[in-house]
Amino acid sequence: MKTFAKLLGAAILLTLILAACGASQPDSSKTYTEAEVSAAIEKGACGGCHTIPGIQNAVGVIGPDLGDISEVAQAALQSGNYSGTAKTTEEFIQESILKPDMFIAASCPTGPCPAGVMPGTMGDTLNSDEINAIVQYLSGLPEGAYGESTVASTPQEPTTGADIVRDPTDIPAPIGDREPTTVRLDLEAVELEGQLADGTTYTYWTFNRAVPAPFFRVRVGDTVEVHLKNDASSTMNHSVDFHAVTGPGGGSAVTQTEPGKESILTFKALKPGLFVYHCATPMVAQHIANGMYGLILVEPEGGLPPVDREFYVMQGEIYTTGDFGSQGHQASDTTKLLDEQPEYFVFNGAVGSITDQKPLTANVGETVRIFFGVGGPNFTSSFHVIGEIFDRVYNQASLTSPPLTDVQTTMVPPGGATMVEFSLEVPGKYILVDHALSRLQRGLAGYLIVDGDPNPEIYNGTSGSE
Ligand code: HEC
Ligand SMILES: [Cu+2]
C-alpha cells in the first residue's frame, strides 16, 4: 500500500512537472546510427546492469533484460495499474530512464529488482539526443537496423587522459601515541577519463581522482566521520564499504549517494588492522574494477614500530573491450568481468604506474614497510618482491598477531591486505610482482629502486652473457 501511495505521489508530481514545463517527447523523426546508440548506452553505463541484445558488453545481471521492453511497456500501458503519463512505448521507455523510481520492474535476473539502483539522474548526464537514440533502439526502431557490430574491430588512434596513478608515497604521517579522538575523512567519487597504458585510456571511477583511493590513517578507538560526496558529473550512484566498520554493509547501507549529493557515515574503529574499503553500489564488481578501492590503517594503541620508509600499493584488474595493448579509448567489458577474464592487471591503477612513472625509492641501510592490498575484484595476489625476503609479514594484515618472519611470497585475497617489512642491504632494482607471473605480461609490475654502495659480501657475480 505504501509503495502504491508513493507511486501515485510520484505520478502526480511528474504530471505537474510535465504540465508545467512541457515534456520533451522522444524524437522519432531522426534515425540514429549504431555508433550513436552504442555511445549513448556506454555513456549511461546501461550495459553494466542491463542485458541489451545487439549491444556489445551489455550483459548486466542487476537490471531486467531490456530485449523485450516494448512488450513490457505495452503490457504496462494496457494493464490499468500504470500510473505514469506515457501513452506510447517510446514514452514509457523514456519515462523509465528519467524517473526510474516510478517503476518496479517485474523481476531482475538475481530475483526481485533492487530499489533505487538505477541512477535517477540519467536526464542530467545524457542529453536528449542520446536518450532518444536509446529509446529508439530499445523500442525496436528502426526494425532490425543493426546487424553485426563493427565497433570493436576498427583500429583506434592512441588517446591521452588524466594521470590517475596514486603515488606510492602518498601516505599520511604516523599517528603514534595519542588518545582516541574524532577524525573526519573526505571522499569524493569522480568518474574520469584516465591513462591506462601508452596510447590507451579508460573511464575510471575513482575516490578522489586516483587509484587506489586515499590511504587513511586512524587510531583504534577513534570515532571516524566519513563524508562521501558524489561529483555532479557522475553517471552512477556511488557508496563506500569500509572493512574497518562494524555495522550493516560496512557503511554502504547509509552511503548510497546520487550524483551531486553527499552522505555522512560515522563509525567507531573497534579493531586495529589494515583494512580495504571500496564502493559497494551494484554492480559492485564493476565499481571496484573501475578503480573504487583503497586502504585504511587503524593503528594499534601506541602506533606501529617506526621504519624509514612506508609505501602504499594496491592490485586490481581491468576488463576492457579491446585486447591488452589496444590503442584508444577502451570501454569496460561486462562479459569479461563476469567471466573473470581481465585484459589488464595493474598496481596503482595503470600500466607503468610504479615502474617508470612513480617507482618506490629507498637507500641501502634503510627499513621499508609496504602496505599492500588487493582491490581485485577477483584475483588473489601472490605478492613477492624479486630479490628480497620479507623480514616480517603481518599475515592477512592482522596487527594483533605476531608477524610471520622470513617469508618469500605472501597471499593476499581480494578485499584483503598485508603489511610487509624488510631491510635493504644491496643496491639495485627490485621488482614487485604477483608471482602468478603471466600477469606481468598484462601490466602488473612495480620497481623498488635502492641506492647505495655495493655490498659484495652479500651479493656479487660476473655475468656470462656479456
Ligand atoms: C546501476 C544499474 C543500472 C543502470 C546503470 C541502469 N539501469 Fe535501468 N534498471 C536497473 C534496475 C535494477 C531496474 C529495475 C528497477 C525497478 O524496477 O525499480 C531498471 C529498470 C529499467 C527499465 C524498466 C524496465 C522494466 O522492465 O520495467 C528501463 C527501460 C531501463 N532500466 C533502462 C535503462 C537504460 C536505458 C539505462 C542506461 C541509460 C539504464 N537503465 C541504466 C538498473 C540499472
Ligand atoms: Cu561506485
Distance, in Å, from the CA atom of 126 to the CA atom of 129, rounded to the nearest integer, reads: 8
DSSP 199: T
Q: What is the pLDDT of residue 5?
A: 45
Q: Which listed ligand is nearest to 10 at the C-alpha?
A: 1
More confident residue, 236 or 106: 236
Distance, in Å, from the CA atom of 432 to the CA atom of 464, rounded to the nearest integer, reads: 26
- Inter-residue contact 455 to 426 (CB < 8 Å): yes
Distance, in Å, from the CA atom of 222 to the CA atom of 40, rounded to the nearest integer, reads: 45
User: And the C-alpha cell for 299?
Assistant: 593503528
What CATH architecture is 2-138?
Orthogonal Bundle (1.10)
pLDDT for 452-461, tens place per residue?
999 999 999 9
Mutate which of 104, 118, 127 for ligand 1 pocket (most atoms within 8 A of beta carbon) = 118
pLDDT for 302-353, tens place per residue?
999 999 999 999 999 999 999 999 999 999 999 999 999 999 999 999 999 9
Distance 326 CA to ligand 1 centre (A): 31
User: And the C-alpha cell for 455?
Assistant: 655490498
Measure Cα distances from 111 to 65, 244, 326 in Å: 13, 30, 37
Atom of ligand 1 nearest to the CA of 235: 5
- Inter-residue contact 307 to 421 (CB < 8 Å): yes
2 SS3 class: helix
For residue 4, give every residue at least 6 positions away whose Cβ sits within 8 Å of its Cβ, in sequence order, or none: none
Distance 273 CA to ligand 2 centre (A): 24
In this structure, the residue with its CA closest to atom 36 of ligand 1 is 46
Name the residue ranges covered by the structural domains of the chain: 2-138, 161-466
Of the candidate ranges 97-101, 175-179, 213-217, 410-414, the one whose mean pLDDT is the lowest: 97-101
Distance, in Å, from the CA atom of 219 to the CA atom of 266, rounded to the nearest integer, reads: 15
Q: Taking residues 233-240, what's their average pLDDT?
A: 94
Of 296, 301, 306, the C-alpha closest to 178 is: 301
Cα atoms in the Cβ-side hemisphere of radius 13 Å centred on 189: 33
Mutate which of 46, 98, 125, 136 for ligand 1 pocket (most atoms within 8 A of beta carbon) = 46
In this structure, the residue with its CA closest to atom 24 of ligand 1 is 105
In this structure, the residue with its CA closest to atom 5 of ligand 1 is 46
Residue 326 buriedness (CB in 10 A; 0-12 / 13-18 / 19+)? middle
Residue written as grid cell 501515485? 8
Distance 253 CA to ligand 2 centre (A): 13
Of 14, 13, 24, 108, the C-alpha closest to 61 is: 108
Judge whether residue 373 has pLDDT over 90: yes
Strand partners, 329: 201
Distance 69 CA to ligand 1 centre (A): 11
Q: What is the pLDDT of residue 103?
A: 65
Distance, in Å, from the CA atom of 382 to the CA atom of 424, rounded to the nearest integer, reads: 21
Q: Which residues line ligand 1 (CB under 6 A)?
A: 44-46, 48-50, 62-64, 66, 69, 72, 93, 96-97, 100, 103-105, 108, 113-115, 117-119, 122, 134, 282
pLDDT for 132-160, tens place per residue?
999 988 888 555 455 444 444 567 899 99
Residue 9 main-chain phi, psi, to 5 deg: -60, -45
Strands 360-363 and 446-451: parallel
pLDDT for 282-293, tens place per residue?
999 999 999 999
More confident residue, 83 or 375: 375
Q: What is the pLDDT of residue 78?
A: 86
Distance 333 CA to ligand 2 centre (A): 16
Q: Which listed ligand is nearest to 290 at the C-alpha?
A: 2
In this structure, the residue with its CA closest to atom 37 of ligand 1 is 46
Fold classified for 161-466 = Immunoglobulin-like (2.60.40)
Measure Cα distances from 442 to 152, 343, 385, 410, 434 in Å: 20, 7, 18, 21, 11
283: preceding bond cis by omega (within 30 degrees): yes
pTM: 0.81
Q: What is the pLDDT of residue 153?
A: 52
Residue 23 buriedness (CB in 10 A; 0-12 / 13-18 / 19+)? middle
Grade residue 42 by pLDDT with cuts at 50, 70 and 90.
confident
Highest-confidence segment of 29-38, 67-76, 365-374: 365-374
Q: What is the pLDDT of residue 2?
A: 43
Distance, in Å, from the CA atom of 135 to the CA atom of 149, rounded to the nearest integer, reads: 19
pLDDT for 4-39, tens place per residue?
444 444 444 444 444 434 345 666 678 888 888 888
Q: Which listed ligand is nearest to 46 at the C-alpha?
A: 1
Judge whether residue 281 has pLDDT over 60: yes
Q: What is the pLDDT of residue 123?
A: 79
For residue 363, give every residue at least 6 positions away whose Cβ sits within 8 Å of its Cβ, in sequence order, or none: 308, 424, 450, 451, 452
Q: What is the pLDDT of residue 338?
A: 92
Q: What is the pLDDT of residue 332?
A: 92
Of the candidate ranges 36-40, 163-167, 173-177, 223-227, the one whose mean pLDDT is the lowest: 36-40
Judge whether residue 84 has pLDDT over 90: no
Distance, in Å, from the CA atom of 380 to the CA atom of 414, rounded to the nearest integer, reads: 6
Q: Which listed ligand is nearest to 283 at the C-alpha?
A: 1
Atom of ligand 1 nearest to the CA of 106: 26
Residue 194 main-chain phi, psi, to 5 deg: -120, 165
Strands 381-386 and 409-412: antiparallel
% of the chain beyond a pLDDT of 90? 65
Atom of ligand 1 nearest to the CA of 93: 29
Judge whether residue 63 has pLDDT over 80: yes
Cα 125 from chain centre: 19
What are the helix (H) ranges across 244-380? 284-289, 334-339
Q: Taking residues 216-245, what's their average pLDDT?
A: 97
Q: What is the pLDDT of residue 14?
A: 43
Of 251, 334, 252, the C-alpha closest to 290 is: 334
Distance 410 CA to ligand 1 centre (A): 41
Angle value at C-alpha 416, between 414 and 422, nearest 5 degrees: 120
Q: Which amino acid is located at 352 in the chain?
A: G
Distance, in Å, from the CA atom of 356 to the CA atom of 344, rounded to the nearest integer, reads: 17
In this structure, the residue with its CA closest to atom 39 of ligand 1 is 46
Grade residue 181 by pLDDT with cuts at 50, 70 and 90.
very high
Judge whether residue 49 has pLDDT over 60: yes
What are the helix (H) ranges across 281-399? 284-289, 334-339
Residue written as grid cell 521507455? 93
Q: What is the pLDDT of residue 464?
A: 87
Residue written as grid cell 609505501? 311
Distance, in Å, from the CA atom of 359 to the CA atom of 71, rounded to the nearest integer, reads: 56
Cα atoms in the Cβ-side hemisphere of radius 13 Å centred on 49: 24
